[in-house]
Amino acid sequence: MTSAAITSLIHHLKSGQRYTQNLPIGSSDALLLGQLAQALAGKKHHLTVILCEHAQDAQRLQAEISYFAPQLSTMQLPDWETLPYDRFSPHHDLVSERLQTLYSLTQKQVDVLIVPVSTALYRLSPPDFLLARTFSFKQNEVLDVQQLREQLVNAGYQSVNQVIAPGEFAFRGGLIDLFPMGSVLPFRLDLFGDTVESIKTFDVDSQRTIYPVPKVQLLPGREYPTDETARGVFRNAWRERFEGDASKHALYKDVANGIFNAGIEYYLPLFFDRTATIFDYISSDATIVLHGLAQTTIRSFWTDTQQRHAFLKGDNTSPVLSPEELFINDEEFFAHVNSFAQLALRPKINDEATEQVLAQSTAALPDVRVNTRHDAPYAALSLLCQRNERDKVPTIILAESLGRQTTLSEALSRHGIHVKTVEAWAEISTLTAPHVYISHAPLERGFSFDDGTQRLCLITETELYAANQGTRARRRSEKTSNVDMMIASLSELRIGDQVVHHDHGIGRDQVFMNMDMGDGDTEFLH
């Protein structure tokens, strides 16, 4: 969008009012939101909050907005990825990311916050809990080792022999290993007496130090307090909420003894006199973006949650809190949202009279899928490139990674489509020559772009290899692999001049190798 269009859009965003627009085509929604957040942040420190109908869109938008507007601090509040009342606790990496995001919000260090709508319904620990239990120390500072150990335990950190995950610490003579929540790497403190002589990051696998840092900040180890005072608050709240002898319940006794079992997160309100919501972490002048149909997701979430509660509430051995104590309903949600300036991006708008600032900016691409059964598999792509060149529109083909960019460039060249390499979006957005370019970006869907001053045609591998739709989202969530999965991840098999694609997940940084099979080249993915 042009700066004039963004200015016009901002003009429509007024506190307490909602301005509705059609959801832009493909990944152009991320381009719009990146430009909007950048314009808002340029005026003053202004937070843009994107509430997504689907969790997959939250992951996608975080990556894509960071690509289009890398200067913005774009963070996501991820979901716990557990069902309400599950006897499982969220993965420590998720808790770490959530705590870092919430703390960054309190420090006004976030430009764009992305939250799945269902995640925004969860009641949270209040901001003062994070602020009161966050502490730091720096190089050359005198450190009371015993006091630090007590602080770590009270903050919910776990003492281990070897630190490998966020929320763990290890004391080994004059060395202290810490993995703070919200940190990408753990830290190693080298003490000289009681003085912190050096602080260095280290690798959890090799245990080798990497680079020095001047300071370490420690967030709480959990989203709820674990000290003796908090355990007393929990016990009192339990006796008020649930009838019968509390001492007969294992969960009650374990918390009293400092043991916090899996699923304790669904008793979070018992640790506080008052819980918070995500809106308590957001400044009143923030702009809210409703991405998709929020109300549909909220209703579905509440239906499922109430059914689960009805099923579990009859078990007197493991009493559960009511949904209202753990989550906010649609009425509360929209009561909060409606106090902010709002932009609603919906798949369809009923009011045809609404002015459409975005109406002519972006458009869907024609079918350019690779036809492996055709003598010229890239014919549709070649035809579009020729048409764009005739219309003086730059064509940019976006691979998933640098390795894929090299492989795709070679494949296109073999089929008569010669490309020029370009780098980041800052370079792409200024292109005017109607050539065919290639780059790599985390975009899931391409689109054509014409805002009156700039024309571009962005094509991703999703458009080229449509059989692999949804693969990117799976790839981001995959954490482990085995031999069977590696065999299944054979993504691209080219025999002679044909390309065959299989719909299996693949790691983003995997390497292509070429093998001469006599009658042609075969590309295997390892």
How far is 238 from 270, CA to CA, in rounded Å?
A: 7
What pLDDT is recorded for position 151? 87
Contacts of 11 (CB under 8 A, 6+ apart): none
Instruction: Spell 489-507 as b/e; 16+ CB within 10 A means b.
Output: bbbbebeeeebebeeebbe
Per-residue pLDDT for 512 more than 90?
A: no
283-299: average pLDDT: 94
Per-residue pLDDT for 360 more than 90?
A: no
Among the residue ranges 380-384, 416-420, 469-473, 497-501, the one predicted with the least confidence is 497-501
pLDDT, one tens digit per residue, over 429-467 is 999 999 999 999 999 999 998 877 889 999 999 999 876
pLDDT band at 157; cut points 50, 70, 90:
very high
pLDDT, one tens digit per residue, over 187-233 is 999 999 889 999 999 999 999 999 999 999 899 999 999 999 999 99
Per-residue pLDDT for 494 more than 50?
A: no
Average pLDDT, the chain: 86
What pLDDT is recorded for position 289? 97
Per-residue pLDDT for 495 more than 50?
A: no
Among the residue ranges 30-34, 133-137, 324-328, 391-395, the one predicted with the least confidence is 133-137
Per-residue pLDDT for 96 more than 60?
A: yes
Whether this model's pTM surpasses 0.75 = yes
Looking at residue 91, the DSSP 8-state letter turns out to be P
What pLDDT is recorded for position 350? 54
Contact 64, 421 (CB under 8 A): no
Per-residue pLDDT for 477 more than 60?
A: no
63-72: average pLDDT: 96
What pLDDT is recorded for position 3? 74
pLDDT, one tens digit per residue, over 370-411 is 988 888 999 999 999 999 999 999 999 999 999 999 999 999
Residue 91: Cβ-neighbour burial (10 angstroms; 0-12, 13-18, 19+) = middle
What pLDDT is recorded for position 122? 98
Would you list the DSSP string of 17-43? -EEEEEPPSTTHHHHHHHHHHHHHHHH
